[in-house]
C-alpha cells in the first residue's frame, strides 16, 4: 500500500499550480488548531475540492453530532479541502485536524478564462508565441488573458470549448476561419480593442475589414459593451459563464492531484453554496 501524502506535500504541490500572490487569500486558510499539529507529518486520506463551501463540502469536512462516544466511532478520513472562494466558510463546523487551503486571485488568473496555459494548449493555441494580457482595475501585474494564434475553423473551436466546459453561448462573427483566440477574464469594449491591437502589432491580422473577423474571444459572462464592440469589428465571441469557468479549474486541479497522488481519494463538489442567514433588520 502506498504511503499517504502529508499536508505539506499537498500544499507545496498546489503552490506549483497556483503560486501565492501578495493580494490573495492565505493558501493555508484554516489550519488545525492543535499543539502537536505538524504539516510535515500530518497524513491525508482524501481531498475535497469545490468553488465554495457548500452543503456537500460540509458533508466531507464537518464534525458529526453523535451520542456515541468518540472513541467508539470509526475514524473519519483525514481530509484536506480546497476552496476557490472560501470567504463564507464556517470554521466552527470544520472537523478537528482538517486543513482548508484556498486560492482566489491566483486561481482566477491561471485556471479560469484568463492566463490559462493548460486551456490554451487544449484549444490548440501556439502558446510559445502567445501574448499575456496584463493589467486590470488598477493592478498592473494582474494577468487577465492570453492571446495566441490558431488555424482552426470556428465550428471546431466551439465544439472544443463545449467539450471543456459543458456549456457555451456563441455569438458568431463574420468569418468561419479563426486565426487568433483570446481567452479573457474580462469582457468590455476596452478589452476587445486591446486584443485587436495586440494581434495587429504581432501581424496576426489580415488586412481588410471588418478588423476582428478572424478572432474568437472566449470569456465567462456576456457583457453588453463587449458584445457591442465585438459585433462592430466582426469578432466571434464564446461565453461559458463565470461559474462554469471556475468549475473547469476545480476539475483541472482534481485531475492533476489524482495523477501526482494516486493513493489519495479525490472528491469534487459542484453545487450551489448554501445561503448565509441574515440577521433580522430592525425598523
Q: What are the pLDDT digits (tens) for 121-148?
A: 999 999 999 999 999 988 898 999 999 9
Share of the chain above pLDDT 90, in %: 83
3-state secondary structure of 70: helix
**Cβ(133)–Cβ(145) below 8 Å:** yes
Q: What is the pLDDT of residue 127?
A: 95
| Residue 82 falls in which region: left (phi positive, over 0), alpha (psi -120 to 50) or beta | beta
pTM surpassing 0.75? yes
CA nearest neighbour of 255 among 242, 270, 268, 269: 268
Q: Domains in the chain, please, with CATH?
A: 7-106+248-269 (3.40.1390.30), 114-239 (3.40.1390.30)
Amino acid at each position: 500500500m502506498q504511503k499517504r501524502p502529508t499536508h505539506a506535500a499537498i500544499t507545496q504541490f498546489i503552490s506549483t499550480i497556483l503560486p501565492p500572490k501578495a493580494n490573495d487569500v492565505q493558501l493555508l486558510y484554516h489550519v488545525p488548531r492543535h499543539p502537536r499539529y505538524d504539516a510535515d507529518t500530518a497524513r491525508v486520506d482524501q481531498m475535497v475540492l469545490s468553488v465554495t463551501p457548500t452543503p456537500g463540502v460540509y458533508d466531507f469536512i464537518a464534525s458529526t453530532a453523535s451520542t456515541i462516544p468518540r472513541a467508539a466511532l470509526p475514524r473519519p478520513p483525514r481530509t484536506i479541502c480546497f476552496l476557490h472562494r472560501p470567504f463564507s466558510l464556517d470554521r466552527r463546523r470544520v472537523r478537528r485536524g482538517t486543513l482548508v487551503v484556498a486560492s482566489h486571485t491566483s486561481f482566477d488568473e491561471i485556471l479560469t478564462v484568463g492566463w490559462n496555459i493548460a486551456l490554451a494548449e487544449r484549444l490548440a493555441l501556439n502558446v510559445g508565441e502567445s501574448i499575456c494580457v496584463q493589467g486590470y482595475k488598477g493592478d498592473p501585474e494582474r494577468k487577465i488573458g492570453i492571446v495566441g494564434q490558431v488555424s482552426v475553423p470556428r465550428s471546431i473551436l466551439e465544439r472544443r470549448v463545449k467539450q471543456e466546459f459543458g456549456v457555451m453561448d456563441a455569438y458568431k462573427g463574420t468569418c468561419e476561419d479563426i486565426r487568433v483566440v483570446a481567452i479573457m477574464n474580462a469582457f468590455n469594449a476596452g478589452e476587445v480593442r486591446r486584443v485587436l491591437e495586440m494581434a495587429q502589432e504581432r501581424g496576426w491580422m489580415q488586412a481588410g475589414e471588418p478588423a476582428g473577423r478572424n478572432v474568437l474571444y472566449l470569456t465567462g459572462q456576456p457583457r453588453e459593451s463587449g458584445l457591442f464592440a465585438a459585433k462592430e469589428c466582426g469578432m466571434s465571441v464564446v461565453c461559458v459563464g463565470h461559474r462554469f469557468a471556475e468549475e473547469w479549474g476545480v476539475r483541472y486541479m482534481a485531475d492533476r492531484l489524482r495523477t501526482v497522488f494516486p493513493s489519495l481519494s479525490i472528491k469534487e463538489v459542484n453545487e450551489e453554496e448554501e445561503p448565509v442567514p441574515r440577521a433580522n433588520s430592525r425598523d
